[in-house]
Structure 1
Amino acid sequence: MPAEYVDLSQTLDPNTPVYPGDPIFSCCPTLTIEHDGNNVTSISMGSHTGTHVDAPYHFIQDGKRIDEVPLSRFVGSAVVVDVSNKAAKQPFVWSDLQPYEERLRRYVSEDASVILLVRTDWSRHWGTDTFFEHPYLDREAAERVITTGVRTIGIDTLSPDPTHLDPHAEADFAVHQVILGAGGIIAENLSNLGAIQDGDWIIGRCDGSPVRAFAWRRTCGTR
């Protein structure tokens, strides 16, 4: 039976939203089959464009860079937390995540490769101004997640922290500080998390940033 795959990535194009102040995405043909015998494209973007992973070094001066993060952090059993009932700019707190705590701890104790995915369904606003008004995780909830042993967290918003549209305003990156400070990694701008809400799935990501994130359904003997 063929494996069932679900793409969890956003598409990169000139309208790809970026965190205020970050470089925008651009893609220009450099060589063409017509004139050069092959197609080659020049790509310019920030390292946190589209669906991507934050390494500890993003916020922690002596933290691991993306090429230093163990590959095991990028593949693991998926636990999808549904907080899609949250409104714009509304925080979700530990009580929203606590029903999943036992499952997280069990997966960590079994193989230490569990990935917590936070489903807000805010990806439906991709490419609109509303996308920047996403719900976000509060600091205490992030701290409690870290105590479960989880070190890889993904979310379908621009950031697990609130987004400030003024790039010069003082921003609160408490969740980044907590997760990356614990040696964890954060995947942002995921999509289609509702498709893997139920069942047993495994998440896979490239060892770089940006990434192509995907999930495949667990089958007997996968563990």
Structure 2
Amino acid sequence: MTTPSESADRHPLWAIHRHLAERHVWTDLTHAFHPGQPHFPAFPDEERSQVFDVGQDGFTVHRHTIVGQWGTHVDPPSHFVEGARTLDEVPVEQMILPLVVLDISHRVAGDPDAVPTLDDVAAWEQRNGSVPAGSFVALRTDWWKRWPDAAAMENRDADGVSHAPGWSREVVEHLVAAGVTALGHEQTDTDAGRSTSAGDYDLELLWLQNDRWQIELMARLDEVPEVGALIVASWPKPLGGSGFPARVVAIHPAEPEPADPPRWA
């Protein structure tokens, strides 16, 4: 009889899984959703009811009434673009990607309206090499730490203008040109709060109309290295779906990776 270790060594994918399980950290980048949580102001709150109870019926079932863009969620191109790809048309090959973390949290701490610049991208690339095509680029702002305080997430001034970070046009255009597959962020919207307060969602439109998808309201990007991690993003498969809550996980080394990663026959 072979041991689990010997069985894994005979099957390359099992060996990779054992390596990931033994030598890597798995960080959940997902908020647990619930009624009353922060959300886009125009959306209704979640309604949740219990249909069956394990004490009375032998099993528990809940009914959830939510919009697709609820909690940590995925936006496919069809969210903003008529006739574009829907959730069921995003290939599963795109659900595991190299993860790039672009960190502007130090600037956001002093200026909640901060957005990334091409200098931030250039600095990342000077340290790590070019942002790879086919990757997932996440914007770290540490805004997730305000969850689940809706007022803190919106951060509105006396005039009702939201002061929250977002992406910038120059960086989004750069990521499109670089062939990045998906992006993500910790705040509610792709566009910064001052833009969304004026009804301007041009950066989200720019990204989605280029046949990309995104994850919004991510968490714990401060626990993930800026380079070298994988992201696993998964969601249900509603036919024609324009958005849905997602479960997002980063897999990253517990210790620095060796120069030559392990190979499996």
**TM-score range normalised by the length of the shorter chain:** 0.7 to 0.9
What is the CA–CA distance in structure 2 between the aligned matches of 1:211 and 1:143, rounded to whole Å?
Answer: 25
Aligned to 1:10: 31
The residue identity in structure 1 corresponding to 2:39 is V
What is the CA–CA distance in structure 2 between the aligned matches of 1:222 and 1:181, rounded to whole Å?
Answer: 39
In the TM superposition, 1:50-89 aligns within 5 A as 50-84=71-105, 85-86=107-108, 87-89=111-113
Single out whichever of 198-207 and 52-61 deviates more from structure 2.
198-207
Aligned to 1:153: 183
Q: Which residue, 153, 156, 170 being the options, matches 1:131?
A: 153
Contact 1:115 1:154 in 2 (8 A): yes
Task: Write the deviation string for residues 128-183 of structure 1: whole angstroms up to 9, x where unpaired.
Answer: 212123211122221111111102101111112134799xx751111111111111
| Structure 1 position 75, deviation (Å) | 1.3
Contact 2:138 2:185 in 1 (8 A): yes
Aligned to 1:116: 137
Aligned to 1:26: 47
Distance change (3 Å), C-alpha of 1:43 and 1:104: farther
CA RMSD of aligned residues (A): 2.4
Aligned to 1:142: 172
In the TM superposition, 1:188-207 aligns within 5 A as 188-198=216-226, 200-207=228-235
What is the CA–CA distance in structure 1 between the aligned matches of 2:194 and 2:56, rounded to whole Å?
Answer: 45
| Structure 1 position 67, deviation (Å) | 0.7
Distance change (3 Å), C-alpha of 1:172 and 1:13: same
Q: Which residue, 181, 195, 216 being the options, matches 2:251?
A: 216
Could you list the runs of 4 or more consecutive aligned residues of structure 1 that deviate by over 6 angstroms after TM superposition? none
Distance change (3 Å), C-alpha of 1:29 and 1:159: same
Distance change (3 Å), C-alpha of 1:184 and 1:101: farther
The residue identity in structure 1 corresponding to 2:168 is D
| SS class of match (2:31) | coil
TM-score (structure 1 length as normaliser)? 0.87
| Structure 1 position 88, deviation (Å) | 1.8
What is the CA–CA distance in structure 2 between the aligned matches of 1:222 and 1:172, rounded to whole Å?
Answer: 48
| Structure 1 position 16, deviation (Å) | 1.2
Aligned to 2:3: none
* Structure 1: runs of 5 or more not aligned: none
Contact 2:167 2:190 in 1 (8 A): yes
Give the number of aligned pairs.
Answer: 217
Q: Taking every aligned residue pair, what percent have the same amino acid on both sides?
A: 22
Aligned to 1:180: 208
TM-score (structure 2 length as normaliser)? 0.74
* Structure 2: runs of 5 or more not aligned: 1-21, 155-162, 237-243
What is the CA–CA distance in structure 1 between the aligned matches of 2:75 and 2:117, rounded to whole Å?
Answer: 22
What is the CA–CA distance in structure 2 between the aligned matches of 1:165 and 1:185, rounded to whole Å?
Answer: 20
Q: Kindly indicate whether residue 142 of structure 2 is the aligned counterpart of residue 107 of structure 1.
A: no
Contact 2:164 2:194 in 1 (8 A): no
Contact 1:162 1:172 in 2 (8 A): no
Single out whichever of 56-65 and 98-107 deviates more from structure 2.
98-107
| SS class of match (1:191) | coil
| SS class of match (1:90) | coil
Contact 1:19 1:163 in 2 (8 A): no
